Structure 1
Amino acid sequence: MRFESVLSPLQIGELTVRNRVTTTAHMTGYAEQGLVSDTLIDYLVARARGGVGLLITEAGAVHPTYRPASFQLYREDVGPGLSRLAAAVHAEGAALIGQANHGGAASPPLPEGVPAYSPSDNDGINGAPARAMTLGEIAEIQDAFVHAAKVMSDAGLDGCEVHGAHHYLVNHFLSPLYNRREDDYGGSFANRLRYLTEILERMRAETRPGFVLGVRLSADIGPGGLDSEGLLAVGRVLEERGLVDMVGFSLGGRTPESFPLMTGGMERDAGYELAWNEVPSRGLAVPTLVTGRYRTLEHADAAIASGVCDLIGMTRAHIADPDLVRKSTGGEAARVRPCIGCNECQRSIITQGAIRCAVNPALPGGAGTRDLPTPTRRTRRVTVVGGGPAGMEAARVAAVAGHVVTLFEESEQLGGLARRAAAVIPNAPGMLDITAWSARELDREGVDVRLGTRADREQVLATAPDVVIAATGSTPKTGARQSARPGAAIPGADLHHVVDTTAVLTMTDFPDHAVVLDEIGDYPALGVAELLVSHGTRVTFVTPFASVGLPIDATGRPATAIGRLRGTGRFEALTLSMVTAIDPTSAEVEDVMGHTFSTHRAGLVVMVVRAAPRREPWLEDLGVPVEYVGDALLPRSYKTAVREGYVAATRVETLSDRRAAVLA
């Protein structure tokens, strides 16, 4: 049998899990007012229906002093929602374990500057204040953890996982870096472990027989903390004392160097976390789980077959496509929509309060690759102009809805600028994956794709469209004003060596020095800088933001890119800065806060500024509804382009009916 290892059942305590595929605990933001919502149930049930063996819920807060965007396990009315969730997941054949957590010093700041809890005086995330807990507070939070497990047990969940990773409260008690107490809960290894063991002992005693207990652990990144051997020591004590039925290993925390490792970007290979977690995972007798950008069932099966673990976390892969297991086992692995590792899911939790996905615009809810808000009532003819990300998604979804779709693309390949950039930018292969997937899906859905064809009025009208979706992209700009001085053009911006991003993608001769001006703060400027540096160019990176890539900082990708760039010795970043003048060999840069000036050598100046929408005049008077999407509306992000293509395709009937009503 193909995928024999990962599809084999697993015994966890008294619980039998149908296969080894797991979606680990991850914040969704789909809870409502601290309670399980229908949206959250739909989301998890879709992954159970798609074939996942074990689902672990997002971290539930055990106490009011931890305030994540999730359900609150300390509320008296949280149980019924958990019961509905458990019943719905079980009906699809999957197992469900809840996660209990207190964020401690890594929690979002409490109101009015109230200090967060910590074993010792560790300041928290973003400098939020934290203080050492009293013995009374230690007992109070332990009680809260035990209560959370009892709530899960009574609600019919299969088990409870205690979050002891990612620099949250339990992890801080375990780590010598953060636990500097001198009482029974600090100092020696046994004392640092006491906080967790007392919680698990009481959970075991106060939950129903057969209720699974687990713990999630992660290493500290940097000297002096919990390393691989330390994790193994913790796990062995817990299993020897019969306190856990499984141990999950992950990576990363709330320090600058460890946060990007929690959800490795597209530059990471499958299993990258094993450098820290293989030793403890192999060293334990109880079932273990590992994570680390596993995107395909092939990767998961190989890991299980190697004996490195018993369960595989495939969380982001199932955000992108909840039907991953079903498609892969049904001989349709090529139809699995790939996670590209852009980490927009992680960023959207912070910026939008809920998971969104760059490649899966149907979220929230189930969000399978064929999910649509409403079924089609009557087939229309849809013509899409432009085969970039927005156009491809619009054509795909319109075809899924049952419409007859024609797509015009002037180049010989689909994918637009995203594909062209991914082909040459280092460490950014994800866009090639999703472009290839979209092209395959268009073919399978029967879309009439006309490559090498620049659409015009006559060609579009010849398709007899009811609706036209314009995904015509954008036109690059180099002489654009900068946000720091929106009314002032840059002297010298019209020189021949001042170029836009697209020009760099086709360069074959690279200068010794370049200035990259990043006005957008998204990944393209970093990608261009890395491309130049990889060809030996020394890059001065200028941005008006307070840090490089600030708008996408929550993805973790800017930090990892900066680490690579700095390591070359050919990269310098000037933040809170702007380019004020350009001459044939240099660029003048102003520090906009200190109003000081510096001059930097530049045989090339790359202006990464927002491009202009490209709108063909003939689209304005076609006599049929025209919907602009993606860059044709306004250049923004890949995620936005895909989302707008999806939404436009779901509105085809509305647009067509509106026109019919006007004509009537």
Structure 2
Amino acid sequence: MDLEHVLSPLRVGSLTIRNRIATTAHMTGYAENGLVSDILVEYLTARARGGVGLLITEAGSVHPTYRPASYQLYRDDVGPGLARLAAAVHAEGAVLFGQANHGGAASPPLPDGRPAYSASDNDGLNGAPARAMTHAEIAEIQDAFVHAAQVMSDAGLDGCEVHGAHHYLVNHFLSSLYNRREDEYGGSFDNRLRFAAEILERMRAETRPGFVLGVRLSADIGPGGIDSEVMLAIGQALQERGLVDYVGFSLGGRTPEAFPLMTGGMERPAGYELPWNELPSRGLSLPTLVTGRYRTLEQADEAIASGAADLIGMTRAHIADPDLVRKTTSGQAARVRPCIGCNECQRSIITEGAIRCAVNPALPGAGTTGDLPFPIRRARRVTVVGGGPAGLEAARAAALAGHTVTLFEETDELGGVARRAARVMPNAAGMLDAIAWSEREVRGAGVDVRLGVGATVDAVLATSPDLVIAATGSVPKPGARQTARPGAAVAGAHLPHVMHSREVLGLTTVPAAAVVVDEIGEYEALGVSEMLVERGAQVTFVTPFASVGLRADATGRPSTALGRLRAHGRFTALPLSMVVAINGTAVDVEDLLGHTVSTHEAGLVVMVTRTAPSRPSWTARLGVPVEYVGDAVLPRSYRTAVLEGYVAATRIEELCGTEQGATSEARA
């Protein structure tokens, strides 16, 4: 495999990085009480051990007026943890930069209700107020940035990156969209640059010799913001003044054009940010770093060979598999667990406060594909019933731990409903990658895979199991019941053109008009709608939630899907609504607030509703412990299914000691 460009060393400032792969700064939520934790050290060190050349830590807060779920560089006791992290990463041969940041108008609200800081009076994240900083406050925050770099330098980190992107404070000073000051920190280009330039100038003077300095920039996109030419001008000005050793380019801020592109989903190709970042990247003589859903070393090598950049950020790819570089360079590229671009990592930071991954259940921690909590004391015979995401992960992890595993799947292929859905839903190919990887790993681990074989008492007992893991999935519920009135059946729900979303996956033709009823709020209903619209249907989208794809909003995928759907001109959304009656050609929809009823044409009604766990009664007659996982416990998400399969595999010896017929639900 010829990867000469991406695997070649790179000189950045006084340092040599062993290859051109970086993990860029990204919030993990693994810091504890504002300090570097053991889990954060383990997480970053695993990626260094896996072969990454440059790791940039998550953004550390430089001042008490910005309190993200990260470590706090203004604390007197933060240094020892950073030193421990640096030593661990260096021991694995990688380079470690920190990132210094102040959130400005994007800061979480402060407990005392003070307004956030910004270059000018700007509304911040979720409309929270931010006011223009005084000169005294500017000096205080600049001091805090410089102090942060000193802390990193003293702790043994190799460099510091100033975060000047993504709607944060430094970005607000750089951007004419947010900086409307009339003093020496606003107005002209040089004045808007002053805040960042003064920080970097003092960092250079007050850190140890050879300490690398960089800056991260991003395009705002949209009228009045930072575009490619402005990013180039900023980079050139900092380069000419000798203030930075490299520049990293990203994409996205809070403008409606930019925000959906900040973390591109599975519909985005590798290098999707280059139309904005290639011009400034090529225009600098300093080393540059770009990002944009790069998932393989081949993709990164191509970008570097073209001259588009010197370093490639592969952050989400290394959340999914920290051993990406090592596996690829050792001839095991097919064993790299693929990032599918679902952005579950982004959602979990927002909703749970820490990174989780749909395909990597071993997080938090190192999160390698070989992670198991403890070595087994005795190999067991394990039979897995069901070859969907939960069953595949249970079989993979159990075999990896050393158990003898048999997998029953009654259909002629593995992957379950997830595979069937990914085949027909537009922009969902990432799911197929994940399932294909799981299948390869299961077969490579020596699992006895029996396709097209229905599991029965006799068939299962013939495998002499010590434990049965039942990943038997779920089935659609009859009728068209909705959460707004859970006890009320919808008139006409029995009609043949009323289908559950799973049934729609097999349609070969679609009618001219369809109603999609979303009772879950995840991406599934959007995927079904896009499939119908692309096949020519006019879709009316009915949901009881206040917005379309509400529960998936933190992934960023609903907004991009809505953009595509609206572009077709055949999509209408009715939030805060429910279906009250269905006939052969139309659907009556009630507004949940005003209780008015409107009628909409529909030759097809798709119910995207929670399915019911499928638990075969024969499992109670096996006489061995049974552990239900995934949808068989309760239908939730792909991530949950994979996680529960993995957890069951790590608990096999414990589960073999449980009473016959015990289930995860019974123990809950």
One fold, TM greater than 0.5?
yes
In structure 2, what is the Cα distance between the partners aligned to 1:316 and 1:129?
A: 32
User: Which consecutive aligned stretches of 4+ in structure 1 deviate over 3 angstroms post-superposition?
Assistant: none
SS of structure 2 residue aligned to 1:657: coil
SS at match of 1:113: coil
The reply on whether 1:502 has 2:538 as its aligned counterpart is: no
Matched ranges for 1:575-654 at <5 A:
575-654=575-654
1:36-68: per-residue Cα shift (whole Å, max 9, x none)?
000000000000000000000000000011111
3-state SS in 1 of match to 2:377: coil
In structure 2, C-alpha distance between the alignment counterparts of 1:111 and 1:42, rounded to whole Å: 31
2:538 pairs with 1:542? no
Q: What letter is aligned with 1:110?
A: L
Distance in structure 2 (CA, Å) of the matches to 1:308 and 1:258: 21
2:5 partner SS: helix
**1:296-342 CA-partner distances (Å, limit 9, x unpaired):** 01001111111110000000000000000000000000000000000
Q: What secondary structure does 2:658 align onto?
A: helix
Query: What amino acid is the match of 2:94?
Result: A
What CA distance in whole angstroms lies between the structure 1 residues aligned with 2:351 and 2:17? 35
- The match for 1:280 is 280
Query: What is the SS of the residue equivalent to 2:345?
Result: helix
User: Separation in 1 of the partners of 2:8 and 2:489?
Assistant: 64
8 A contact 1:478–1:607 mirrored in 2: no
Residue 277 of structure 1 aligns to a residue in which SS? helix
Instruction: Name the residue aligned to 2:239.
Output: 239
Q: Distance in 1 between matches of 2:477 and 2:221?
A: 42
CA–CA distance in structure 2, aligned partners of residues 118 and 290 of structure 1: 27
> Deviations for 1:604-648, whole angstroms, at most 9, x for unmatched residues?
000000011111110122111101111111111000000000001
- What residue in structure 2 maps to residue 514 of structure 1? 514
2:204 is matched with which residue? 204
Alignment correspondent of 1:107: 107
Measure the CA separation in 1 of the matches of 2:580 and 2:255.
Answer: 35
Matched with 1:226 is 226
Check the 8 A contact 1:586/1:603 in 2, yes or no: yes
Q: Secondary structure at the match of 1:7?
A: coil
**Are the equivalent residues in 2 in contact too, given 1:161–1:213 (CA < 8 A)?**
yes
Match in the other structure for 1:59: 59
**SS of equivalent to 1:5:** coil
Instruction: Identify the residue that residue 88 of structure 1 maps to in structure 2.
Output: 88
State the distance in 1 between where 2:390 and 2:88 align.
34
Which secondary structure state, in structure 2, belongs to the residue aligned with residue 552 of structure 1? helix
In 1, are the aligned partners of 2:220 and 2:255 still within 8 Å (CA)? no
CA distance in structure 1 between the partners assigned to 2:258 and 2:227 by the alignment = 13
Amino acid at match of 1:44: L
User: Paired residue for 1:458?
Assistant: 458
Q: Which residue of 2 aligns with 1:293?
A: 293
Matched-pair contact (CA < 8 Å) for 1:260–1:555: no
**Per-residue deviation, 1:223:** 1.1
Letter of the 1:94 partner, please give it. Answer: A
Q: Aligned letter for 1:75?
A: R
Kindly indicate whether the alpha-carbon contact (under 8 Å) linking 2:457 and 2:621 is maintained by their aligned counterparts in 1.
Answer: no
Cα distance in 2 between the residues matched to 1:217 and 1:498: 50
Whole-Å separation in 1 of the counterparts to 2:395 and 2:251: 39
* Structure 2 equivalent of residue 4 of structure 1: 4
In the TM superposition, what is the alpha-carbon distance from 1:288 to its structure 2 partner?
0.1
TM-score, structure 2 normalization: 0.98
Q: Deviations over 1:347-371 (max 9, x none)?
A: 0001111000000000011111010
Query: Does structure 2 retain, via aligned residues, the 8 Å contact 1:105–1:116?
Result: yes
**Partner residue, 2:665:** none
The whole-number CA distance in structure 2 between the counterparts of 1:477 and 1:541 is 20
Map 1:91-240 onto structure 2 (within 5 A): 91-240=91-240
Give TM-score scaled by structure 1 length.
Answer: 0.99
Question: Could you tell me how far apart the structure 2 residues matched to 1:59 and 1:72 are?
Answer: 9
Structure 2: distance between partners of 1:260 and 1:360? 24
CA distance in 2, matches of 1:340, 1:327: 18
* Preserved contact between residue 228 and residue 280 of structure 1 (Cα < 8 Å): yes
Give the superposition deviation at 1:595.
1.2
Residue identity matched to 1:428: A
Distance 2:128 2:150 in 1: 31
Contact persistence 1:478–1:499 (CA under 8 A) = no
What is the CA-CA distance between 1:659 and the residue it aligns to? 4.7
Residue 446 of structure 1 is matched in structure 2 by 446
SS of residue in 2 equivalent to 1:249: strand
CA contact (8 A) 2:222 2:255 kept: no
Q: Supply the distance in 2 between the matched residues of 1:625 and 1:229 (Cα, whole angstroms).
A: 64
Inter-partner Cα distance in structure 1 for 2:468 and 2:396 = 14
Q: Which residue of 2 aligns with 1:315?
A: 315
Amino acid at match of 1:593: L
Deviates more, 1:112-121 or 1:600-609: 112-121
CA distance in 2, matches of 1:468, 1:565: 44
Deviations 1:83-107 (A, max 9, x none): 0000000000000000000010011
Aligned identity (percent) is 77
The answer to which of 248-257 and 609-618 deviates more is 248-257
Please give the root-mean-square deviation of Cα atoms over the aligned residues, in Å: 1.1
* 1:561-603 deviation line (CA, Å, top 9, x unaligned): 0000001000011111111111111111111012111111000
Aligned to 1:433: 433
SS in 2 for 1:292: coil
2:360 is equivalent to residue 378 of structure 1: no
Range 615-624 or range 87-96, more displaced: 615-624
Secondary structure of 1:485 counterpart: coil
Tell me, in whole angstroms, the C-alpha distance in 1 between the residues paired with 2:498 and 2:646.
36
Say yes or no: does 1:16 pair with 2:16: yes
Task: Please tell me the residue identity of whatever aligns with 1:80.
Answer: P
Greater shift in the superposed pair: 106-115 or 359-368: 106-115
Cα distance in structure 1, aligned partners of 2:112 and 2:150: 32
1:327 equivalent to 2:327? Answer: yes
Q: Counterpart in 2 of 1:350?
A: 350
Match of 2:370, SS? coil
Q: Deviation at 1:478?
A: 4.7
Report the counterpart of residue 666 of structure 2 in structure 1: none
Q: Distance in 1 between matches of 2:59 and 2:235?
A: 21
Structure 1 gap ranges (5+)? none
Q: Which runs of 5+ in 2 are unaligned?
A: 663-668
**What secondary structure, in the 3-state scheme, does the structure 2 residue paired with 1:338 have?**
coil
State the shift of 1:113 in Å. Answer: 3.1
Alpha carbons 2:580, 2:588 under 8 Å: kept: yes
Q: Write the distance in 2 (CA, Å) between the matches of 1:578 and 1:626.
A: 39
Q: Is the 8 A contact 2:220 2:254 kept in 1?
A: no
Give the residue type in structure 1 aligned to 2:547: S
User: What residue in structure 2 maps to residue 399 of structure 1?
Assistant: 399
Q: What is the CA–CA distance in structure 2 between the aligned matches of 1:56 and 1:500, rounded to whole Å?
A: 45
SS for the counterpart of 2:472 is coil
Opposite residue 417 of structure 1, the aligned amino acid is V
Q: Is the 8 A contact 2:384 2:468 kept in 1?
A: yes
Q: Deviations over 1:509-562 (max 9, x none)?
A: 111100000000111100000000000100000111111111110100000000
8 Å contact 1:113–1:129 — kept in the other structure? no
Q: Secondary structure at the match of 1:373?
A: coil
Q: Deviations over 1:102-149 (max 9, x none)?
A: 010011222243210000010001011111111111110000000000
Distance 1:160 1:269 in 2: 30
1:590 aligned partner, one-letter code = E
Whole-Å Cα distance in 1 between the matches of residues 112 and 508 of structure 2? 56
Whole-Å separation in 1 of the counterparts to 2:357 and 2:204? 38
Q: Deviations over 1:413-455 (max 9, x none)?
A: 1000000000110011011001110110011100000000111
Letter in 2 for 1:14: S
Per the TM alignment, residue 2 of structure 1 is displaced from its structure 2 partner at its CA by 2.1
CA distance in 2, matches of 1:259, 1:382: 46
| Residues 386, 471 of structure 1: 8 Å contact kept | yes
SS at 2:182 equivalent? coil
